[in-house]
């Protein structure tokens, strides 16, 4: 059975909700999945899994979610050659069209620099600020994770 870790950073709960949908999709695809808040894990844990999935919302004007910064910095020193990886996150496309979900791009770039191979297209989910995550988005994320699971 393939193993995966989902690491998320979330300020108001949207990314955490999406991480649960990723977990559900991976489980449906028979992946042994561990979900961790980025505040409760470290980059040294990543090497223990076949697939690494990072999720961050975007704040400021295109920044990572606050809790993600220390983890992101430490990732620069990690080698993930041959590991499969994927990235996801919510953002507000209507309010921030020029910086929509750019944290997702940032995470994908860093994972690629570490030698990981992207196993799914990055997933950007529009969430109107303050509105949380709707059912349609949850289903989209779950379906994405199931497709990812089948590629592991």
Residues of this chain that interact with ligand FMN (CB under 6 A) are 10-15, 57-62, 65, 90-92, 96, 99-101, 127, 129
Smallest gap, in angstroms, from Cβ of residue 69 to ligand FMN?
A: 13
- Residue 80 or 141 with smaller CB distance to ligand FMN: 141
- Residue 46 or 57 with smaller CB distance to ligand FMN: 57
Smallest gap, in angstroms, from Cβ of residue 89 to ligand FMN?
A: 8
3-state secondary structure the chain: CCEEEEEEECCCCHHHHHHHHHHHHHHHCCCEEEEEEHHHCCHHHHHHCCEEEEEECEECCCEECCCHHHHHHHHCCCCCCCCEEEEEEEECCCCCHHHCCHHHHHHHHHHHHCCCEECCCCEEEECCCCCCCCHHHHHHHHHHHHHHHHCC
Smallest gap, in angstroms, from Cβ of residue 123 to ligand FMN?
A: 13
Residue number, nearest CB to ligand FMN: 91
- Give the span between the Cα atoms of 11 and 15, in whole angstroms: 8
Smallest gap, in angstroms, from Cβ of residue 150 to ligand FMN?
A: 26
- Residue 111 or 127 with smaller CB distance to ligand FMN: 127
- Residue 23 or 78 with smaller CB distance to ligand FMN: 23
């Amino acid at each position: 059975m393939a193993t995966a870790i989902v690491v998320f950073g979330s300020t108001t709960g949207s990314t955490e909700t999406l991480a649960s949908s990723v977990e559900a999709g991976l489980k449906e695809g028979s992946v042994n999945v561990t979900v961790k808040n980025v505040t409760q894990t470290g980059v040294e844990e990543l090497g223990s899994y076949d697939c690494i999935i990072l999720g961050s919302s975007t704040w400021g004007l295109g920044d990572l979610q606050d809790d993600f910064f220390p983890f992101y910095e430490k990732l620069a020193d990690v080698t993930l050659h041959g590991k499969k990886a994927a990235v996801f996150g919510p953002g507000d496309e209507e309010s921030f069209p020029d910086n929509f979900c750019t944290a997702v791009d940032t995470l994908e770039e860093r994972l690629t620099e570490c030698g990981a191979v992207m196993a799914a297209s990055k997933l950007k989910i529009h969430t109107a600020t303050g509105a949380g995550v709707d059912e349609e988005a949850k289903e989209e994320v779950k379906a994405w994770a199931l497709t990812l699971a089948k590629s592991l």
